[in-house]
Amino acid sequence: PQKIANAPAGLLEVRGEVYLDKKDLAALNERQQLKGDNIFANTRNAAAGSLRQKDPLITAQRPLKFFAHSFGTGDIAADSFSGFIDLCKSWGFSVCPVRTKTTLISDVIRFYNQFDSSRHQLPFDVDGLVVKVNRFEDQRVLGVTAKSPRWAIAFKYPAPQATTTVKNIIFSVGRSGVITPVAELEPVPCAGVIISNTTLHNFDEIKRLGVRVGDRVIIERAGEVIPKMVKVVEQLGTQEVLPPAKCPSCGEPVYKEPDEVGYYCVNPSCPAQLRARLLHFASRGAMDIEGLGDVVMDKLLESQYVTDFADIYGLTFLHLLNLENFKDKKAQNLLDSIEASKQKPLSRLLFALGIAFVGAKTAEILADRFRTLDALKNASLAELQSVPDVGETVSQSIYDFFHSQSALDQIEKLRAAGLNFTQPKKELSGNILEGKTLVFTGELKTMTRTEAERLAKEYGGKASGSVSKKTAYVVAGEAAGTKLKKAQELGVPVLTEEEFLKLLGRI
Ligand SMILES: [Zn+2]
């Protein structure tokens, strides 16, 4: 709550846990993916990562929730934990809906066992229970050790596991040529989904697990989206799994850097790499060509209608109608999304090209800096290195890419196909402060008070001298005094000078 109704006088300290609902994690990950940012493996990582943000405005955008679960200090009208939780509820805190009170340890054990099957239906992830002695007086008598209280203990549930058989271990070739071993499994249900394969990451991992085709293995999904192999329980396979000598796709010899774990296919015209690069090009964070997933891509490759990025833009209605399962509407939809992708900003195209070390973020930085593909193409190594956040390895990789004949040929073909090679200017936030009243207090570092007030006006806002409930933001500089205090009392959001400038999109 921003304000606590009927709060006790003086300092009140309520402790608890910040968490994310499962469906909010899914939505957050979708947004992260669109922006080309990292995907969170589970709700715990997402909550912790959101709190660790240096920029509180980012934290504020995350769908975080809070359960009050422990009492710190304060003069409260309760003599037990359950009484305290009831008070928290009445003060407006949310508390975990799952709790029970008992005097029998057998009830605790029964509750633990029964809850294991129903906990997955809750909107949030639960990995265990905490059992607490209820009366504060009893808690005081039991006391605490150096590490933890003697009156509370956590009972965790083991991570969901399943036992299955390894049917095969295949080698998948990524767009950079890296060869990843993947275990194909006898399909097995685990934590609500059917698992039929799992990545083994690399050949060191295979050695560590000692896994062979035919083995019985345990797999686990510990809140992770991707299952992992835990160990071999029964070695039934006879053949040790060794790195392939030849690329499973093109048959060229496999290459390994002496001090790296990865094995690579370095053949530039390897079909598996081409397929992975094309799929990346069309993917959501890149050119975002809807309807061009792996099934359609395989047909296009098989028919040889597509052999490089530019060929996608040469596809015609007749080409598509020749493919299996393609009717008028589906063909037209795909052509429409291919056409629409031509207008994507330069940052998307740069990411789509799959230059080594250039992820979505770096692509955006480069596009904002150079504005056109030709400016970037002609940039010297020194110019590339002078871009903030672009290190030596990255700039060398970009430089090499734009000095390889095959890349230059590809770029000219894409230009001829009519792709946008420019980056639009970042839109100004415009009237982001429309109708909002701001109060500046304390000493600002980068501008005077008058300049700050003028800036607020420029973005549609209005500056005021006093804080009230209607104040949208208080911007607090060094040595802010009573106005800051008033803002905190009224629950008015307080921004630092830096956050204020960020809000306006000026830094
Ligand atoms: Zn290959």
DSSP string, 371-384: -BHHHHHT--HHHH
**pLDDT at residue number 314:** 96
Tokens standing for residue 458: 């420029």
Q: Which residues are near ligand 1, the ion (C-beta closer than 5 Å)?
A: 247, 249-250, 265, 267, 270
How much distance in Å is there from the Cα of 177 to the middle of ligand 1?
Answer: 7
Non-local (6+) Cβ contacts of 305 within 8 A are 311, 315, 319
How much distance in Å is there from the Cα of 255 to the middle of ligand 1?
Answer: 10
How much distance in Å is there from the Cα of 92 to the middle of ligand 1?
Answer: 60
Identify whether the C-beta of residue 476 lies closer than 8 Å to the C-beta of residue 484.
yes
How much distance in Å is there from the Cα of 505 to the middle of ligand 1?
Answer: 45
How much distance in Å is there from the Cα of 178 to the middle of ligand 1?
Answer: 9
How much distance in Å is there from the Cα of 265 to the middle of ligand 1?
Answer: 5
How much distance in Å is there from the Cα of 182 to the middle of ligand 1?
Answer: 16
How much distance in Å is there from the Cα of 351 to the middle of ligand 1?
Answer: 22
How much distance in Å is there from the Cα of 254 to the middle of ligand 1?
Answer: 8
Report the amino acid identity of residue 108.
V
How much distance in Å is there from the Cα of 288 to the middle of ligand 1?
Answer: 26
For the CA atoms of 47, 52, 58, 60, what is the dihedral angle to 10 degrees? 60
Identify whether the C-beta of residue 184 lies closer than 8 Å to the C-beta of residue 196.
yes
How much distance in Å is there from the Cα of 268 to the middle of ligand 1?
Answer: 8
User: What CATH number has the domain spanning 437-503?
Assistant: 3.40.50.10190
The ipTM estimated for the assembled molecules is: 0.99
Tokens 């009392």 — which residue?
A: 489
**CATH 3.40.50.10190 boundaries in the chain:** 437-503
How much distance in Å is there from the Cα of 350 to the middle of ligand 1?
Answer: 24
Domain 346-416 coded CATH 1.25.40.10: no
Tokens standing for residue 148: 């933890």
**pLDDT at residue number 223:** 58
Domain 14-20+64-156 coded CATH 3.30.1490.70: yes
How much distance in Å is there from the Cα of 205 to the middle of ligand 1?
Answer: 22
How much distance in Å is there from the Cα of 287 to the middle of ligand 1?
Answer: 25
**CATH 3.30.1490.70 boundaries in the chain:** 14-20+64-156
Q: How many CA atoms lie within 13 A of 243 on its CB side?
A: 20
C-alpha 224/C-alpha 322 separation (Å) is 41
C-alpha 227/C-alpha 161 separation (Å) is 9
**CATH 1.10.150.20 boundaries in the chain:** 271-341, 346-416
Identify whether the C-beta of residue 472 lies closer than 8 Å to the C-beta of residue 437.
yes
Residue by residue, pLDDT tens for the chain (507 residues) are: 888 878 888 888 999 999 999 999 988 988 887 777 777 877 888 898 898 887 888 888 899 999 999 988 888 889 999 999 999 999 999 999 999 999 999 999 999 999 988 888 899 988 889 999 999 999 999 988 877 889 999 998 888 889 999 999 999 999 989 999 999 999 998 876 788 999 999 999 999 999 999 999 999 986 556 789 999 999 999 999 999 999 999 999 999 988 888 899 999 889 999 999 999 999 988 999 999 999 999 999 999 999 999 999 999 999 999 998 898 999 999 999 999 999 999 999 999 999 999 988 899 889 989 999 999 999 999 999 998 878 899 999 999 999 999 999 999 999 999 999 999 876 555 677 888 899 999 888 888 888 888 888 878 888 888 899 889 899 998 888 888 888 888 888 889 888 888 888 777
How much distance in Å is there from the Cα of 456 to the middle of ligand 1?
Answer: 58
How much distance in Å is there from the Cα of 249 to the middle of ligand 1?
Answer: 5
How much distance in Å is there from the Cα of 257 to the middle of ligand 1?
Answer: 16
What is the three-class DSSP state of 232? strand
How much distance in Å is there from the Cα of 269 to the middle of ligand 1?
Answer: 8
Tokens standing for residue 17: 């846990």
How much distance in Å is there from the Cα of 54 to the middle of ligand 1?
Answer: 42
Cα distance from N-terminal residue to C-terminal residue, the chain: 31
**CATH 2.40.50.140 boundaries in the chain:** 161-256
CATH top class, domain 271-341: mainly alpha
How much distance in Å is there from the Cα of 176 to the middle of ligand 1?
Answer: 10
How much distance in Å is there from the Cα of 276 to the middle of ligand 1?
Answer: 11
How much distance in Å is there from the Cα of 248 to the middle of ligand 1?
Answer: 7
How much distance in Å is there from the Cα of 8 to the middle of ligand 1?
Answer: 70
Tokens 């710190």 — which residue?
A: 72
**pLDDT at residue number 156:** 86
Q: 436-452 burial string, b = 16+ CB within 10 Å, else e?
A: bbbbbbbebeebeeeeb
- CATH number (3.40.50.1110, 3.40.50.2300, 2.40.50.140, 3.30.420.40) of 161-256 reads 2.40.50.140
C-alpha 463/C-alpha 448 separation (Å) is 13
How much distance in Å is there from the Cα of 264 to the middle of ligand 1?
Answer: 8
How much distance in Å is there from the Cα of 238 to the middle of ligand 1?
Answer: 27
